[in-house]
Amino acid sequence: MRHPHNFRLSENTPSRCGVRSLQSLWVLSPILFGLTLLAKPSPVQTPDLAKLSTQGQAALRDQHFDRAAEVYEQIIKLDPRSAQAHSNLGLALYMAGKYPRAITEFQKALELDPHLDHTKVLLALSYFDSGEIVRATPLLEKAYQANKDDPVVAAHLGLAYLRQEKDEKALAVLSHWVELEPNSPDALYFKGKAAMYLASDSFVQLTKAAPDSYRMYQLRAEMLRQQGQGPAAINEYKKAISEKPDAAGLHYALGTLYREAGRLDEALTEFHAELKISPNDAMTEFFLGDIYLQQDNVENAQQYLARALAIQPGLADAQIDMAKTYHRQGKIVEAVKLLQTVVASDPNQQDAHYLLFSLYKEEGQTEQARKELATFEELKRKAQDQDQKRMRVDSLN
Amino acid sequence: MVDSGKSRPRTVIERREFLRAMLVAPGLIPRYRSLQSALLTGNRACRLAFQASSNAPLRELITSNTDFFVRNHFRTPQIRSDSWSLAVDGLVSTPLKLSYADLLLANSVHRPSTMECAGNVSGGIGVGNAVWSGVPLAELLKQAGPKAGATTVIFHGADSGDIEDAPAKTHFARAIPMEKATDPSTLLAYEMNGSPLPADHGFPLRVLVAGWYGMDSVKWLTRVELTDQPFQGYFQQKYYVALRAHERRPITRMLVNSKFLRPSESEEIHANLYRIQGVAWAGERKIAKVEFRAGPGESWQAATMAASSASMTWTAWSYDWRITSPGKYVLEVRATDDEGHTQPEVRDPDRQDDYELNTPHRVTVTVRS
């Protein structure tokens, strides 16, 4: 049996979802787990039927699906009106990747017994895997309503919606799949994909509906920035601001671009403009403080960092910058005290430990410095280990 | 409610990574490509009335660690400081082996210094200015005791890989003369702008050969070797050589150069008076003057330097440009160092290499009424 994490779902090539996915999901899905019940012999059976039924169950259990199909065909010859036998034959065929024949058998089973809920799900999955997404969808919807805790049903319904570009519905169902399996890479991947499709469509609509709006310029600026075209992004932000000078966030974004480009005075202008629009924004206050600190204007830096911390007391970057201002003023005790507060609330703050090391070293407190350096090295090592783990995952994807 | 889209700096980075992923997600490209096309090719009228902001001079101009250029020869090695050490050996009386803590707890100095990639194009991003902290190499060499005859100091990095016509797993190494190695400006740096060196910038330790092109400031340093022979390493012989028909000269000292910080390429300007700003540098030499002109046919005008120029670090300059009419302009800047070297108008046509590119930086801007 395949490990569950090996199972593959593909939005665009449903046929690939079939055997591989179901084999691996055999033990995961409550519905498919329930299929073993289907393989039970009928209550009233002749000795021959009972024997065949036992053989069929064993073949299914052992994943000898061709053999199982032969056995259930024999059972159906002896008992053509057995809904369960048709359903089990359909299951064997489905697992062998013979979807059209599986669909026929599931349909016969449901004609004989419309209450076989598991068979309805299997019929839906067969439609899905044979590419008949439109037929699969209503059956999956019913199955989803009846079996909300089944990740397989949620996954297939979500992907069925995605294939039909019903992205909002897809996102809702795939989000539920993530709730059922919070660490599933497949669930997280497809939920993300649905969200991206929605975003993409919304942005395309924006280009059509409001091509000269400030949001359009803002979006274009963000994309240009993402592509590393900072100067072009600056132009777009300026256009956005021209369209809507009082929009929150535009001056801030432009300020961060100027800051990255080393145009600090212009960055200051933009952040100050932002503060007029968003007077209680901790990040804007922080960036102002940070730039004044870069410019060695300690007094101004402290003023804005203090405001940032009044709004957001736990803003570690502002606390660290404030400690740097104390350091520049020679107020080592205050700097150390503040940094100790930072590491007390977040012992993993590498930067704060490193700064503490520097301050202790400067003060000649070698033992304390050594201790902080050791802590920094340990945190750095852990971060490097995590980065390497992530890089390994990235290279696998 | 208006969503400003603000977030903390680290979150901004995460968001960037996510967006990058968005753009490369295989299934999304066809749908997103149309969006990108719609966004980037649209010809929209600009109705901007943006005025140039502050008239204050540029002050401290430090390139942040995240914005500092990265130019590596191999993949960035992931080095753990607790299993790393630095060897100082070769022609020395007392070979040294130093741990990360040994170096960080030693007496340190802080030096602002401009670093430029030898292949940086005019106005390119391959230049930055940071405050580097570390131990002067001269002090370590003094401890190790160079033997008589030691003329060359080789820096060995931990980065390695396979290159055509080089031995397998060749590692990066460069050498400088003893005289430069013992200059007080040459550091073994473990800190950049007050933070430990980022991995891409050489954590845990790199050399800072101030005033020389960046390739000699070897990253991920593991060994400092003294020798009495010219270094024959692959990267010393094959790369970083100025070539003319009958000349082969190693690239070492940075040449005089300058760039605009403001405006950027293709920037639209809506003002009658615009403060042009930028930086100029000349490695071991100082900047004597910076000149600006608003087009090839115009005369050069003296720009104002923000402070007296110092060697090793760049100098901020500005020029208040009085604009007489709208239109498209090609702005140019050039600098001259204190030995009288001015950035050349054109690249020496005899040069057969791509280093020391220091023709004037030119940006095209559009002035609108």
Domain extent listing, chain B: 81-239, 257-367
The confidence score (pLDDT) of residue B279 equals: 95
Nearest CA in chain A to B196: A354
Cα B34 to Cα A248: distance, rounded to the nearest angstrom:
28
Interface touch A204/B35, C-beta < 8 Å: yes
Contact list in B for residue A226 (CB cut-off 8 A) is 16, 19-20, 23
Q: How confident is the model at residue A170 (pLDDT cuts 50, 70, 90)?
A: very high
Q: How many CB atoms lie within 10 A of CB B232?
A: 8
Interface touch B25/A294, C-beta < 8 Å: no
The contacts of residue B9 (CB under 8 Å, 6+ apart) are A317
Nearest CA in chain A to B199: A384
Contact list in A for residue B28 (CB cut-off 8 A) is 193, 196-197, 200
Q: pLDDT, tens digit, for every residue of A227-275?
A: 888 889 999 999 999 999 999 999 999 999 999 888 888 999 999 999 9
Contact assessment for residue A119 and residue A108, using Cβ atoms and an 8 Å cutoff? no
The contacts of residue B308 (CB under 8 Å, 6+ apart) are none
Kind and range of the H or E element at B188?
strand B186-192
User: Is the per-residue pLDDT at B28 higher than 80?
Assistant: no
Q: pLDDT, tens digit, for every residue of B277-315?
A: 999 999 999 999 999 999 988 999 999 998 788 999 999
Q: List all residues of chain B from 37 to 66 with a beta carbon under 8 Å from chain A.
A: 38-40, 42, 44-50, 53-54, 56, 58-64
Contact list in A for residue B49 (CB cut-off 8 A) is 242
Q: pLDDT, tens digit, for every residue of A352-382?
A: 999 999 999 999 999 999 999 999 999 999 9
Interface touch B25/A193, C-beta < 8 Å: yes
The contacts of residue B194 (CB under 8 Å, 6+ apart) are A324, A355, A358, B131, B133
Q: How confident is the model at residue A43 (pLDDT cuts 50, 70, 90)?
A: low
Whether A357 is in a domain gets the answer: no
B46 vs A197 pLDDT, higher one? A197
Q: How confident is the model at residue A384 (pLDDT cuts 50, 70, 90)?
A: confident
CA B101 vs CA A164, A219, B89: distances in Å: 60, 47, 19
**For the whole model, what pTM was predicted?**
0.71
Chain A: closest CA distance from residue B241 (Å): 31
Structure tokens at A394: 């990235």
Whether A238 is in a domain gets the answer: no
User: Is the per-residue pLDDT at B151 higher than 70?
Assistant: yes
Q: How confident is the model at residue A295 (pLDDT cuts 50, 70, 90)?
A: confident
Structure tokens at B336: 């001259």
Whether A370 is in a domain gets the answer: no
Place of tokens 């057969």: B352
Contact list in B for residue A270 (CB cut-off 8 A) is 53
Contact list in B for residue A324 (CB cut-off 8 A) is 194
Give the mean pLDDT of chain B. 84
Please give the average per-residue pLDDT across B195-204, as a whole number: 95
Overall residue count recorded for chain B in this entry: 369
Whether A353 is in a domain gets the answer: no
CATH classification number, B81-239, choose in 3.30.70.360, 3.90.420.10, 3.40.220.10, 2.60.40.1170: 3.90.420.10
Cα B153 to Cα B294: distance, rounded to the nearest angstrom:
46
Contact list in B for residue A11 (CB cut-off 8 A) is 27
Domain of A81, in residue numbers? 4-177
Mutation site, B7, B35, B366, interface A, largest A CB count within 10 A? B35
CATH classification number, B257-367, choose in 3.60.20.10, 2.60.40.650, 1.10.620.20, 3.40.50.300: 2.60.40.650
User: Is the per-residue pLDDT at A330 higher than 60?
Assistant: yes
User: Is the per-residue pLDDT at A336 higher than 90?
Assistant: yes
Note if the bond before B204 is cis, omega within 30 degrees: yes
Please give the average per-residue pLDDT across A83-90, as a whole number: 94
Helix, strand, coil in percent for chain A, rounding step 5: 80, 0, 20
Q: How confident is the model at residue B190 (pLDDT cuts 50, 70, 90)?
A: very high
Contact list in A for residue B20 (CB cut-off 8 A) is 226
Q: pLDDT, tens digit, for every residue of B228-285?
A: 999 999 999 989 999 998 899 999 999 999 999 999 999 999 889 999 999 999 999 9
User: Is the per-residue pLDDT at A9 higher than 90?
Assistant: no
The confidence score (pLDDT) of residue B257 equals: 98
Cα B59 to Cα A262: distance, rounded to the nearest angstrom:
10
CATH of the domain at A11: 1.25.40.10
Interface touch B80/A197, C-beta < 8 Å: no
Most confident listed range (A76-80, A143-147, B222-226, B236-240) = B222-226
Nearest CA in chain B to A366: B105
Nearest CA in chain B to A230: B264
B245 inside 8 A of chain A by CB: no
Cα A154 to Cα A17: distance, rounded to the nearest angstrom:
14
Q: pLDDT, tens digit, for every residue of B118-148?
A: 999 999 989 999 999 999 999 999 999 999 9
Most confident listed range (A192-206, A220-234, A294-308) = A294-308
Count: domains in chain A: 1
